[in-house]
Amino acid sequence: MLKNIPPILSPELLKVLCEMGHSDRLIISDGNFPAESMGKNAIVIRCDGHGVPELLDAILTVFPLDTYVEKPVSLMEVMKGDTVETPIWDTYKEIIAKHDPRGAEAVGTIERFAFYEEAKKVYCIIATGEKALYANIMLQKGVI
């Protein structure tokens, strides 16, 4: 056990977060995201019993967001014609505001298939059991 480290962050996940350098990106994915196929060139960490918000909050406790880009946080856009509501995005923005002074201004969106292309380039994908749709979130690491 370590002091001041959220217990939801496993030793494996802490190691990966520590290994990441400036501008490296990670995805915290919902339960429907194709983590294994998108993450063929990434480290995939399974956190199936957890939701995205609780992991996002814990990760941002130790993970600085990139201050050299306008939007270090990216969400997968809802497909045109899809009527899915995304209240979880508001939750993400509240969590981000706790950890970064830019708050919601640090958050952008990426078209679904462009998000998948970017997912193939990330350092790590954290696969959760999150049931909300369009709940995938990409974070770009900054410096301390």
- C-alpha torsion sign, points 26, 28, 34, 36: positive
Q: Which of 22, 68, 82, 90 is catalytic?
A: 22
Q: Are 62 and 14 in contact (CB under 8 A)?
A: yes
- Report pTM: 0.96
Structural domains in the chain?
23-140 (3.40.1650.10)
**pLDDT at position 40:** 95
Place of tokens 């995938």: 136
Q: Which of 57, 82, 100, 116 is catalytic?
A: 116
Active-site residue 22, yes or no?
A: yes
**pLDDT at position 100:** 97
**pLDDT at position 134:** 97
pLDDT in tens, 101-110: 999 999 999 9
Active-site residue 24, yes or no?
A: no
Active-site residue 50, yes or no?
A: no
Q: Which of 30, 66, 92, 134 is catalytic?
A: 66
Nearest Cα neighbor of 33 from 24, 22, 44, 20 is 44
Distance separating alpha carbons of residues 119 and 103, to the nearest angstrom: 23
Residue 108, Cα to own-chain centre: how many angstroms? 12
**pLDDT at position 1:** 76
**pLDDT at position 112:** 96
Low-confidence ranges of the chain (pLDDT < 70): none
